[in-house]
Amino acid sequence: MKSDSSQPQTAKNAPPRRMAVIGGGLTGLSAAYYLQKLEPRIDVELYEATARLGGVAGTVHRDGFLIESSADCFLATESAPWARELIEEIGVSDELISTNDSCRRALVLWRDRLEPVPQGFRLMGTASMEHVWSSPLLSWRGKLRLAAERLVAPRRDGQDESLAEFATRRVGREAYQRIVQPLVSGIYSADPQQLSVAAALPQFAAMERRFGSLAIGLRATESDAGKDAAGARYSMFAAPRRGMQSLVEQLAGKLDRCQLNLQQPVKTLRAGHDGRWHVRTDKSVAPQAYDGVVLATDAKTSARLLREVHDELAGHLSDIEYAGVAVVSCGLERNQIGHSLAGFGFVVPMIEKRRILATSFSSVKFAKRAPEGKVLLRTFVGGAGQEAMVDWTDAELQQTVLAELRGILRIQGEPLFWTINRWPKRTPQYTIGHLKRVESIRNCVGQLSCLELAGNYFNGVGIPQCVREGRDAAARLQKKAYPRVKGQAFWTA
């Protein structure tokens, strides 16, 4: 977001505006924060259906352990700066910590063993084969096929492809099944036969178009910083020292001109004859009128609220599918675990036919996540194709996860405790054609006066993308509420 001046102005005689933000996750909180920041004469009310802010972001402190309920970190790079910039703006950047460099690598389960992702491998390919030749993850046939990626003719027809199609075509079936699929599924919990590369991993689709090869593109674009990291560039990740809940609380604390309405799910949203939006909650005696609205809920909830406002828009939103995941965390004594834990965690290929998606070694990844001599493990189950597991009982999830981890990490005895967070239907699925759906949604929203949508179903599921969505929706709504006046400066997304 850029501005022509450090202090955006309003039209001299423009009346104050009253805005509503519906949804109190990080996207909605960001929208409320930037609405206040962009326009001092805007009054904001935020509606959240549950008893707490933050959505899936949350932290539990237990017996010296710091346990995240969902994401435990975020990208803090030049290509995804939005979360870092927000944290700097609210004055808590000194709270950020980085990952533990001494164990900066990802592991993959292969034939009942944990093997490191070859150094330099970046989700979908590698700029150099140097470390691939010695990796047990691929056969010689698979290694030679990966080495030949730069010889594969690029696809130029512009058709959307699934992850399975794109990766198999470019790097070969072995590299796709054993490395690419588990790494990407660790982010999106998606069906690789349906996940759109253009929507979920646009940088790789762009590399093929520009360079004709992922290997050539990675060599041209990678920087020296983090070039030896395997899988994800962990040196580029950061986290709040006291957990994600502290970020939620600090951001909410900056909403000094925002009324927070918790446990007030919005029942109806109507366009009134007075040109304003009318919001009614389960607790409303009468609808509340607003000059503008940011809908920062999931696509299904937004579709329900907009069905009588714009049926076509509601239909496009309804087309976005969701998957569910459960996060099963446990604490252990370090001497209960026979594995070295020399990494930040491991991912599991679908062809291994296991009941877990991935496990994060949280107390290895970040300092102060567990007391001295103890370990915190966070295991992810469910996702597309296994979503029914999210509804299993606590005992079933605990037994399943422990049975898997006993064999993989050589665990003895019982965990010190279990914590389970279920997130049914919370991860949007960027299926084939997603970018066209997003374009259609944006076009429909453009037909509505003073209403904007924001959410992780648009352009990324990470925390930085959620912040960007809230920020940009606030900027678009501010422009609609206070149309540009010649000679005055306005922030634009």
| pLDDT tens per residue across span 296-338 | 999 999 999 999 999 999 999 999 999 999 999 999 999 999 9
Average pLDDT on 146-164 reads 94
Inter-CA distances, 317 with 49, 297, 313, 451, Å: 20, 11, 6, 15
What does 305-321 look like in DSSP terms, one character per residue? HHTTT-HHHHHHHHT--
Q: Domain 73-77+98-102+323-428 in CATH: superfamily?
A: Protoporphyrinogen oxidase, mitochondrial; domain 2 (3.90.660.20)
Look at 4 and 445; give whichever has higher pLDDT: 445
Confidence (pLDDT) at 450: 95
Buried b / exposed e along 363-374 (16+ C-beta atoms within 10 A): bbbbeebbeeeb
What does 3-41 look like in DSSP terms, one character per residue? -SSSS----TTPPPEEEEEE--BHHHHHHHHHHHHH-TT
Angle ∠(291,295,297) on CA atoms, nearest 5: 155
CATH topology of domain 17-55+243-320+431-481: FAD/NAD(P)-binding domain (3.50.50)
For residue range 415-425, list pLDDT tens digits in order: 999 999 999 99
Confidence (pLDDT) at 5: 41
Architecture of domain 118-230: Orthogonal Bundle (1.10)
Given a cut of 70, whether residue 231 has pLDDT beyond it is no
Average pLDDT on 36-61 reads 94
- Confidence label for 227 from pLDDT (cuts 50, 70 and 90): very low
The set of residues, in sequence order, having a beta carbon less than 8 Å from that of 369 and lying 6+ positions away, is 65, 66, 362, 363, 376
For residue range 388-420, list pLDDT tens digits in order: 999 999 999 999 999 999 999 999 999 999 999
Confidence (pLDDT) at 368: 94
> Does residue 158 contact residue 436 with C-beta atoms inside 8 Å?
no
Place of tokens 């805007």: 42
Average pLDDT on 26-39 reads 95
Q: Among 136-145, 224-233, 245-254, name the one with the lowest average pLDDT.
A: 224-233
Based on C-alpha coordinates, what's the Rg of the chain? Answer: 23
Domain boundaries, the chain: 17-55+243-320+431-481, 73-77+98-102+323-428, 118-230
